[in-house]
Amino acid sequence: MEGAALFRFILQASVALALAAIASLLLLFVRRLVIMRIDRANAERRRELEEMVYGALEDPAALTSGRLGARDQRLLLAVVSEMLRGVDGEMRDQLKAILALHIDLDRLMGDLRNAIPADRAKIAFRLFWSDSPAVHDALRAALDDSEPEVVLAAANALLATGQSISLLALVPKLESRSMLGNRAVRDLFRRLAPDNASALFTFLDDPNPAVVVLAIDALARAPSSPALRRLRAAAQTHLAVDVRAAAIRSLGLAQDQQAAGVITAALSDPAWEVRAQAAIAAGRIGDAGALSQLKKRVGDANWWVRLRAAQALAKLGAEGIAALEALAGDEQLNQLVDFVLSERGA
């Protein structure tokens, strides 16, 4: 009896699974059809709106007033915001006038709060042109959005409108959303660096190594003597491997000749990430004093360090090349040396 129940269960479960899978796929099929239809309709309407905008640019008198529907407003915003990124002067004013005429900013700001995340990010990204204090306030409020994409879009839009953003206030928001590893955040730090130099120095003492790394990277874009001094100190003494590696990398990028000793010392760092960055930096600043250390590092236990050290030697001129060619006889290293020399030749 129990066996019969089990058999019936297996039969029913199999049929249920198959039917559920088929029903799911049919639903997905319908969803795809709907998405395609919407995309097609949007593309067509977008073309019409583009025509309207071009017509209005050629003949401003032809510009008629009147609010568009919600979908058309978003499409128009997409069309015009793309155009706005590449123009200035009179044409920029004309485009902004078109937006002012057809777009309900209150509705957009409402959408910036309530739409789905992907749409919120798009709206924030496309509001960079607005001079309205209300829009700026809405974008500032969007910096507290739960979605990282929206926060980034709002920050970039605010920057584009010429509004200042306090890195000190922004970083905790980024940190709480686990966004510090995002490359877009690194770019944001770089863009905010000129107005936030003192904040960047503060971040060098932050307990979170990811924040320190971002600050180091941003400081290296506009190197000053105090900044380089702090980077040298971080390269030597910071406990976090990522921070030491970032500091060494930044010193190399900044071509800081005074850091030659620090970089050579970092070639013996216990962490391979730091040794690899030190090898790259030694090549970048062309420090002949690092030659003997680089030769040692070509035999490093870590492949990356070996490669970077060999590449650095190849950048140190005739002496470095001679050192590399001497190493080519070593059967453990000949492949690496051949590769670096051929890469140099290429």
Partner 1 sequence: MNLTLLHDLAFDIGIVIAVTVGWLIFVNGVLLNALYSLQLVLAWRALRRRRAARTPLSAWWRFSEQTVPISLLAPAYNEEATIVDSVRSMLALNYPFFEVVVINDGSRDGTLAALIEGFGLAPVKRAFQEHLAHKPIIATYGSARFPRLIVIDKPNGGKADALNAGIDVAGSPLVCAMDADSLLESDSLPRAVQPFIEDFDNVVACGGSIRVVNGSDVRHGRVTRIGMPHDLLSLFQIVEYLRAFLIGRLAWSEMGAMMLISGAFGIFKRQVMLEVGGYTLNTVGEDMEIIVKIHRHLAETGRHGEMRFVPEPVCWTEAPRTLKGLAGQRRRWQRGSLETFFRHRAIMGRGEYGLPGTVGYIHVLITDVIGPPLEALGYIFMPLLYVVGILNLDFFMAYLALTFVFGVGISVGSLALEEIEMRRYPKPSYLLVLMLAAILENFGYRQLNTLWRIQGWWQYVRGHTDWATAARVGFGTKPKRP
Closest separation in Å from C-beta 283 to partner 1: 16
CB of residue 148 to partner 1, shortest distance in Å: 13
Task: Tell me how far, at minimum, the Cβ of 11 lies from partner 1, in Å.
Answer: 4
Return the number of the residue (109 or 307) whose C-beta is nearest partner 1. Answer: 307
Q: Sign of dihedral through CA atoms 98, 101, 104, 106?
A: positive
Phi/psi at 293 (5° precision): -65, -40
Q: In terms of Cα–Cα distance, which of 294, 299, 332, 335 is closest to 315? A: 294
| Minimum CB distance to partner 1, residue 131 (Å) | 32
Closer residue to partner 1 (CB): 24 or 268: 24
Note the residues at the interface with partner 1 (CB under 8 A): 3-4, 6-8, 10-11, 14-15, 17-22, 24-26, 28-29, 32-33, 36, 183, 303, 307, 328, 331, 334-336, 338-339, 342, 346
Please, which residue, 165 or 313, has the CB nearer to partner 1? 313
| Of 269, 272, 293, the residue nearest 282 (C-alpha) | 293
Which pair of structure tokens corresponds to residue 220? 């290296």
Q: Provide, rounded to whole angstroms, the least separation between the CB of residue 3 and partner 1.
A: 7
Question: In the bound complex, what is the minimum distance in angstroms from residue 311's beta carbon to partner 1?
Answer: 11
For partner 1, which is the closer residue by CB, 7 or 54?
A: 7
Question: Of 35 and 70, which CB lies nearer to partner 1 in the complex structure?
Answer: 35
Q: How far apart are CA 55 and CA 52, in angstroms?
A: 5
Concatenated DSSP letters of 55-104 = HHHH-GGG----PPPHHHHHHHHHHHHHHHTT--HHHHHHHHHHHHHH--
Phi-psi region of 330 (alpha: psi -120 to 50; beta: other; left: phi over 0): beta
Q: Which is nearer to partner 1, 20 or 91 (CB)?
A: 20
